[in-house]
Structure 1
Amino acid sequence: MPTLRTLQPGDEVSLEEFLLQHSDTSMFLRSNWRAAGLLDQGARFQGTYVAAYTNEIIVAVAAHFWNGMVVVQAPVHLSEVVQAVVAQSGRAISGISGPAAQVEATKRVLGLSNRTTQLDESEILFSLTLQDLQIPQALATAKVQCRLPHSEELELLTEWCVVYNVKALQGTDTPSLRSACRLVIEACQATAMHWVLVAEDTLVSYSAFNANLPDIVQIGGVWTPPGLRGKGYAKSVVAGSLLAARSQGVKRAILFTCHHNQAAQAVYRGIGFLPTGEKYGLVLFES
């Protein structure tokens, strides 16, 4: 039987050594502990982490974050770490993410297989080495510009975030969703982790990093209003964000998207992303 421990400050090195073995599917875990540490006081990005050890080496981990998401990286001893972290945190469960097969197993372990979901998908994981980034012509020739948003644009971006959550994540437009989107946009602005594309002085597309590390970033929340699609704007905004990351020394980018979203897959392939062969699971439960 493994030894289970709730991780504390001082455990960062051993946690990172384990997660680096599974880096493409551990972005939220790596990014969140770096942003907020291992203490759990309920603040943004904080969570309770439980690890399984064999011979004093971490072999599995599960975290239950401030927003209710259970995130797993547990190729072994999944049942033990998942049950322990939920019991330890005492939080309600809003969703699950991690390697797709582990997400399915986590639902079963927690008795949530029949709970109504807002979203339940096994998504294609894509990767790009940033030196191989293919820059769209419109961006290369400055026909469009990619930049950090201005403060007066945040209200519009909050509206875009709401629509993205409704259309892409099958959420419901409620006051709580609008409040959550406002906090997301403000946090991205404060950390310079999102970008807009401008064409003829008009905002036409948006992209953000939902996990940000010195070596690798994860793209999430790409949105172009329906009336502006088909013009290559999504390619340019994502490429522009990655040029900014590359200038800071980032080497790779990761993203995941659903199997049926052929348009999104074409965008990402068009700037050099290729499937890794892994599947990423994302479950969001209805409130």
Structure 2
Amino acid sequence: MRPDDWYLTEDLDEFLARAGDFLRSRPALHTVPLTVADALRRRGLHLYGPQAPLFGLLEADDGTVRATLVHTPPFHVHVTALTPQEADTLAARYTELDRPLPGVSGPQETAEAFAAAWQRHTGTAVAVDKRQRLYRLHELTAPEPRPQGRARIAGPADRELLVRWFKEFQEITGGVGQDAGNWADARVSYGGVTLWEAADGTPLAMAGATPETAGQVRIAPVYTPADLRGRGYAGAVTAEVSRAAREAGVAEILLFTDLDNPTSNGLYQRIGYRPVADFTVWGFGGAER
């Protein structure tokens, strides 16, 4: 296998025309490229930053797509499952490009193989940034005890709150790139954030959901301000968003957790989510000494 076996393009329409069937064939495992491509299609190619996104695909001998990549700077490149050899050839191809690469995310073994290959090809130090687990909703179970309050869809009047909470969420998760105001406007436009509020209307927590694409929706972000945590608000609002998606007929309701956070992993399992696969985010630093 040669590095130029990877076909790379900045044309989203071409990428989806060639790789769409492959991505839709496993919507849970491909939730990230599906939802990112959908967001770029809806909101413009420069949604995440001024540099053009890059898309890639790898075809088998019979012409069918067997792997893809999506890179939206300043985020890491996201890759679908690869063999170690495929990961190596992709890393080699990336060294030929004039594109900064801060890291890689993907299925656990694939991301590890790519990071090791990148280190071999470039001499760059690599390290795990985050270990994640992808969950799928099975039977929804309302959290007990149910906290006081109620759920409602966030509207235009909530924009300032959503911007503030999204910035706080990015700070604690190390997120970069997406403008909080643009994120809030987009989510409000399709009812993509649900708030859990007290009886007097005070917002206590939020849970977002991506638009449905290929029969899947991903719950994200889930956020409770620090002084309100431990009271069941996150579980209640996540269950409400999950219920609404299930009642709307969504086939795959998904979410990611940080494996270093046992509280969230336990919470989502209690309300009916079950593990699908583990993913890893690797960061690439400077040259090794």
> TM (normalized to structure 1)?
0.79
Which residue of 2 is the match for residue 101 of structure 1?
Answer: 109
2:59 is equivalent to residue 53 of structure 1 = yes
The AA in structure 2 aligned to 1:33 is A
Please state how far the C-alpha of 1:159 moved relative to its aligned partner. 2.1
Q: Which residue of 2 aligns with 1:91?
A: 99
One-letter code aligned to 2:66: V
Residue 174 (structure 1) aligns with: none
1:165 and 2:170 aligned: yes
Contact 1:28 1:211 survives alignment (8 Å): no
Aligned to 1:155: 160
Residue correspondences, number: 273
RMSD between superposed Cα atoms in Å: 3.3
Gaps of 5+ in 2: none
1:204 aligns with 2:191: no
- 2:142 is matched with 135
CA displacement at 1:253 relative to structure 2 = 1.6
TM-score by length of 2: 0.79
From 19, 43, 46, the equivalent of 1:15 is 19
The runs of 5 or more residues in structure 1 that have no matched partner are 172-176
Aligned counterpart, 2:267: 267
Deviation at 1:258, TM superposition (A): 2.2
Distance 1:154 1:43, change over 3 A: closer
Cα distance, 1:106–1:189 mapped onto 2, change above 3 Å: farther
Residue pair 2:55, 2:68 contacting (<8 A) in 1 also: yes
CA–CA separation in structure 2 for the residues paired with 1:211 and 1:284 = 28
> Could you say if the C-alpha distance between residues 258 and 153 of structure 1 is closer, same or farther in structure 2, counting changes exceeding 3 Å?
same
Q: Which residue of 1 aligns with 2:131?
A: 122
Post-superposition Cα deviations, 1:40-74, rounded to whole Å, max 9, x if no partner, equal: 95344973211111121111212211443301014
- Find the aligned partners of 1:265 and 1:110 in 2 and give their Cα distance: 31
> What fraction of aligned residue pairs are identical, expressed as a percent?
21
Cα distance per residue 1:92-136 (max 9 Å; x no partner):
33442211222222223333785577x71222222113xx21234
User: Counterparts of 1:154 and 1:203 in 2: how far apart (Å)?
Assistant: 12
CA deviations over 1:147-191 (Å, ceiling 9, x no partner): 221323222222222222222x246xxxxx698333322332234
Name the structure 1 match of 2:179.
180
CA distance in 2, matches of 1:204, 1:36: 30
CA distance in 2, matches of 1:67, 1:212: 25
1:34 to 27, 31, 38: 38
Alpha-carbon distance in structure 1 between the residues aligned to 2:123 and 2:162? 34
Q: Would you say 1:146 and 2:151 are equivalent positions?
A: yes
